[in-house]
Amino acid sequence: MPANLKKSLSEIYERCQSLEGGAVADYIPELARVDPRLFAIAAVTTDGRLFELGDSDAAFTIQSTAKPFAYAAALREFGLESVLARVGVEPTGDDFNSISRLDRSKRPMNPMVNAGAISVCSMLHSAYGDTGEARLLEFFSDFAGEQLAVDSVTYASEMETTDGNRAIVYLLNKFRNLQAPPQAALDLYIKMCSIQTTVRGLATMGATLANQGMHPVRKRRVLEAAHVRDVLSVMLSCGMYNYAGQWVFDVGLPAKSGVSGAVLMIVPGVMAVCVYSPPLDGSGTSVRGIAACKELSQRHRLHLLDQTDLSIGEIND
């Protein structure tokens, strides 16, 4: 755990506050109405301590930061082999909503892009049926340690404008890679993106991953450690889409962005950090979110490849 985490976070918060640039997502009309000045950071450690700064009571929809948790639900429900048969683990290098690679590969490249997450939602619908929304909410709430709910206004707003995702879901259906009727899979996906939380809630969800699947405060297991490893692996390689390579290079930690302006970063065994600031860069990631995570990682040498204490015991020749 970084020494002086509190001091670091407040210095980083102050510095990032002067960062301008980026634009609030407007392809979902409801997201365009948000105040771009909102800015909050929360860190939750694996031993259950919470540090929060700024507008930490501001509620936002989790959008794509939901994808690692949906993937977790699918791993738990179906096991790794069955999930891998439907969705790969390779980064695309494309935008999160791109359809072009799916057209060639037929099977979504990874569960962090929209095609993969929609495929995952179709699997979940096949397991949960009409209770899909309630079951996902229950699972996500177990990660958060509080009852979460869907923001029905943002859900309706995205449903009206989500032709790109509609194209993806029908393409998946055409390739026979959908486990539920297209409308049902899409509906569960958009509902999951519209789950509402705060930086506290999302950082706590992340801290459960950082803590090998054990909720850091309730001390209750939410996910098997083996599945946590798989979730964190795809977050590391694919969580930041077409920016994933630069992210691993600069920051070196599993993370996920969402178009509402949230960035969730996991420091395995230590903590999770959630930054919320709505203006986004060209890859759909919060400008301040990237800057704050990058600075925190570099200040405290959190990059996974900066770790020098890996030990494999005695080596015999």
Chain contacts with ligand DON (rule: CB under 6 A): 63-64, 96-97, 114, 158, 165, 193, 257-259, 284-285
Least distance (Å) from ligand DON to the CB of residue 65?
7
Nearer Cβ to ligand DON (45/157): 157
Least distance (Å) from ligand DON to the CB of residue 95?
9
Least distance (Å) from ligand DON to the CB of residue 154?
9
Q: How far apart are CA 179 and CA 312, in angstroms?
A: 42
Nearer Cβ to ligand DON (136/193): 193
122 near 185, Cβ under 8 Å?
Answer: yes
Closest residue by beta carbon to ligand DON = 64
Least distance (Å) from ligand DON to the CB of residue 20?
20
Nearer Cβ to ligand DON (79/282): 282
Least distance (Å) from ligand DON to the CB of residue 45?
26
Query: Hey, what are 313's tokens?
Result: 């015991």
Nearer Cβ to ligand DON (51/241): 241
Inter-CA distances, 190 with 127, 169, 183, 227, 296, Å: 18, 12, 11, 24, 32
196 near 150, Cβ under 8 Å?
Answer: yes
Nearer Cβ to ligand DON (97/110): 97
Nearer Cβ to ligand DON (63/122): 63
Least distance (Å) from ligand DON to the CB of residue 94?
12
Q: How far apart are CA 89 and CA 235, in angstroms?
A: 10
304 near 266, Cβ under 8 Å?
Answer: no
69 near 205, Cβ under 8 Å?
Answer: yes
> Tokens 């179709």 identify what position?
122
Identify the helix (H) or strand (E) that includes residue 255: strand 255-258
